[in-house]
Amino acid sequence: MLGPAKIYFLIFGVLTIAGGIIGFVKAGSMPSLIAGSIAGILLLAGAFLLPAHVAAGLVIAGLTSILLAARFIPNFIRTGKAMPAGMMAVLSAIGIVLAIVAWMKR
């Protein structure tokens, strides 16, 4: 289960950084760039810690997913916009579930 979790968090991290860059380019949003970069780097760090440091990697990636979900799920419910709120809400929810399942199977 750690292999798929590692791959998912790598992809999720890259997409999060890309989303922050897109938010900056399209809307001039420096907060999007900063938050997207920080969250993406944390997701990448969690992925790179797997499988050598399972607990640390899953905690970092799982907590980052929880924080992203707390930000984007209410925004998606309020606006109904698929991009970026909907995509990030779904990716975050999958990240939470994947971190929990990988933790239980470690």
What ranges in the chain are assigned the alpha helix state H? 2-27, 30-49, 54-79, 87-104
Name the band, by pLDDT with cuts 50, 70 and 90, for residue 2: confident
Q: How far is the C-alpha of 66 from the C-alpha of 69, rounded, in Å?
A: 5
Give per-residue pLDDT as tens, 32-78.
Answer: 999 999 999 999 999 999 999 999 999 999 999 999 999 999 999 99
The pTM assigned to this predicted structure is 0.94
- The pLDDT score that the predictor gives to residue 20 is 96
C-alpha 54/C-alpha 50 separation (Å) is 5
pLDDT of residue 91: 98
With a cut of 90, say whether residue 31 has pLDDT above it: yes
pLDDT of residue 106: 84
pLDDT band at residue 1 using 50, 70 and 90 as cut-offs: confident
- Domain limits at 41? 2-104
For the chain, the domain total comes to 1
